[in-house]
Amino acid sequence: MLCIIKAKEYVRTFGTREFMKKDGTGNHDVLYALRKYVSQYYIYIHDKELGLCYLKISSYLPFASEFYFNGHNYLKQQFDLIGKGYKMEANSFTEIEDIDLLKNLVGELKGQDILERITHWMDIFFRFDKGNRSTLSKLL
């Protein structure tokens, strides 16, 4: 893990509002959709297989999360592990020593592999006990 950044973003979420009858009786809460600024947590990770990634977690209902990784960072990571040469400018490869290796790496990357890495990081930051409790990791 490299860092955690907290940001406020304008998102679709849910809230409750208390309603009463005109005579002041029968108050009850109603859940409704709204848009408002809420805290979002960006956890930046240097994954051993995917390279630089982040996990974004919303702090409000419906607690949306997003995992992002850049395919170029993944390829760069793999080239470094294998020891093949390349040159990059910004987010683009300008030279690649072994173009066949590039094609193989792109063809071999499967969604299941990415899902396994997401699960790995989610298991580090969140613990679930019998499906009814969640405890926050000390890392957060």
pLDDT in tens, 124-140: 877 655 555 555 555 54
In-domain check, residue 26 = no
| Domain total of the chain | 1
Structural domain boundaries enclosing 53: 3-19+32-131
Q: Is residue 47 part of a domain?
A: yes
For residue 24, being part of any structural domain is answered with: no
The reply to whether 99 falls in a domain is yes
Instruction: Let me know if residue 137 belongs to a domain.
Output: no
Residue 112 lies inside a defined structural domain of this protein: yes
Answer whether the bond into residue 62 is a cis peptide, omega within 30°: yes
pTM (predicted TM-score):
0.70
Q: How do residues 74-89 score in pLDDT, each as one tens digit?
A: 999 899 989 999 999 9
In this structure, how many other beta carbons lie within 10 angstroms of the beta carbon of residue 16? Answer: 11
Residue 66 lies in a domain: yes
Task: Find, among 44, 55, 42, 33, the residue nearest to 8 by Cα.
Answer: 42
Whether the CA torsion 29, 31, 33, 39 is positive or negative: it is: positive
Please state, in angstroms and rounded to a whole number, the distance separating the CA atoms of residues 125 and 46: 15
